[in-house]
Structure 1
Amino acid sequence: MIVIAITGASGVIYGIRLLEALKELKIENSLIISDAAKTVINSETDYKIEGIIDLADNYYDFNDLTASVNSGSFKADGLVIVPCSMKTLSSIANGYGANTITRVADVSLKERRPTIIVPRETPLRSIHLQNMLTLSQEGAIILPAMPGFYSNPKTLDDQIDFIVGKILDSLKIENNLFKRWE
């Protein structure tokens, strides 16, 4: 069971593609979409929110702090926040679990589960980098959406799959979403 959180940052397509990949791989997932992410999804993609939710095995409301996914006893193999807004990143780095996403991240880190943060686009301020360092020191994997070009991508989809493949690699999930270095 992989928990996926999509926040209101540019790059929501990475989260959507990760849901599609997990469905293709038949790996159970749970999904949380922030209110701001819904706005970004409508702005950056042609996907409908209901269609994205349908890709998930379980869906949790962004503001439901009583949801089972918020508990340390909830069985999850990892958490991916993709994309991760700087507001969410700051909240997690400072232990502020004010919504379902930041609470799940707090639990994931305290339970020492794989926690992958895919920060939003550049540029970054020093405080953003400091918050990423804090989370890295707590065990989170900081995975910026920086596509590699050694696989000679031909399309935007190739570049998206490269990042999603790297996320799956970090979760130790076998995949063939990108051409590996030979």
Structure 2
Amino acid sequence: MYVKATAIFLMIITGMVPFCLQAQSTDEVRIYYGVAGADYVYPAMDGGGSYENANFKEFGIRYLKGISERFSIESGVNYSSSTAIFHPEYRGEPVTVNEEDYHLISVPIYAHYTFWKHFFVNGGPILDFDGADNPSFIDKQPGIGYSLGFGGKYAFQHFSLFINPNFKQHALIPFHKNTPHHQKLTEFGVQFGVGYRF
């Protein structure tokens, strides 16, 4: 499944290249790697065990289309992977902790505003697609989510280095809602990357 998701990611990147090459002077392409503390948020219930998320990491590419000197529309593709962990409810007998890898492909559509030259805020909706087949004990996350972030950057010539702490919640509006207590993958993370301005 990892190979399949990676192939999809690379095809999307390849498709973006001609568009990026036509970019104007206010446009920028960014690549990044990120880590996050992530968890599955759902309404409180009595019993039923608990869930957690570990080893979250992500990478992606973004294209910033300049609307003005300070304001841009930011989009691209993001691939994330993590390990979902389920702790069954203890009933006086030994229990087995279940783990499975989970992959998510996301397309953000953000507003991006730069201020004081070296700082920016960004945020907006996220369109999510499963990079895994059928998770056994967590809810599927395809749907519409959102992200809010802020960051800093240092530019030199056409290049820039940036850091982007952010909050993301997936499946705010899920495409597949099998239960009334649908889990929402929620992240507090940070992205590090490099950009090239045309």
TM-score, length basis structure 1:
0.25
Greater fraction of residues in strand: 2
TM-score, length basis structure 2:
0.24
Greater fraction of residues in helix: 1
